[in-house]
Amino acid sequence: MTIKAYGAHAADKPLQSIDIERRPPGPQDVQIDIAYCGVCHSDLHTVRSEWGGTLYPCVPGHEIVGHVSAVGSGVTGFKLGDTVGVGCLVGSCQHCAACDEGLEQYCENGFVGTYNGPTADAPGHTLGGYSQRIVVDEKFVLKIRHPEAQLAAVAPLLCAGITTYSPLRHWKVGPGSKVGVVGIGGLGHMGVKLAHAMGAHVVAFTTSDSKRQAALDLGANEVVVSRNADEMKAHVNSFDFILNTVAASHSLDAFTGLLKRDGTLVLVGVPEHPHPSPSVANLIFKRRAIAGSLIGGIAETQEMLDFCAEKGIVSDIEMIPAQKIDEAYDRMVKGDVKYRFVIDNASLGR
| Preceding omega of 24 cis (within 30 degrees of 0) | no
Stretch that binds ligand NAP, among 79-87, 147-155, 204-212, 216-224 (CB under 6 A): 204-212
Helix pair angle (160-170, 298-311), 10° resolution? 100
Instruction: Provide the minimum distance between the beta carbon of 13 and ligand NAP in the complex, in angstroms, as a whole number.
Output: 20
- Rule CB under 6 A: choose which of 30, 127, 220, 268 binds ligand NAP: 268
Q: Does 248 sit near ligand NAP (CB under 6 A)?
A: yes
Between residues 71 and 160, which has the closer beta carbon with respect to ligand NAP? Answer: 160
Among 84, 142, 159, 313, indicate the residue that binds Zn ion (CB under 5 A): 159
The nearer residue to ligand NAP, 7 or 113, going by C-beta atoms, is: 113
Sign of the CA dihedral running 134, 137, 138, 142: negative
Instruction: Give the Cβ contact number of residue 306 at 10 Å.
Output: 15
290 binds Zn ion (CB under 5 A): no
Tell me which residues in 158-187 interact with ligand NAP (CB under 6 A): 159-160, 163, 183-187
Contacts of 136-139 with C-beta under 8 Å, sequence gap 24+, read: 136/29, 136/30, 136/32, 136/86, 136/90, 137/28, 137/29, 137/30, 137/90, 137/91, 138/28, 138/29, 138/30, 138/71, 138/72, 138/75, 138/76, 138/77, 138/78, 139/28, 139/94, 139/298
Residue selected from 28, 150, 208, 279 as contacting ligand NAP according to rule CB under 6 A: 208
Interacting residues with Zn ion between 36 and 55 (CB under 5 A) = 40, 42
* Closest CB 213 distance from ligand NAP, rounded Å: 13
Least gap, CB of 206 to ligand NAP (angstroms): 3
Q: Least distance (Å) from Zn ion to the CB of residue 188?
A: 13
Q: Contact letters (x/-) for ligand NAP, 288-327, by CB under 6 A?
A: -----xxx--------------------------------
- Show contacts with ligand NAP in window 17-56 (CB under 6 A): 40-42, 45
By the rule CB under 6 A, 211 interacts with ligand NAP? yes
Residues forming the site for ligand NAP (CB under 6 A): 40-42, 45, 159-160, 163, 183-188, 206-208, 211, 245-248, 268-271, 293-295, 332, 335
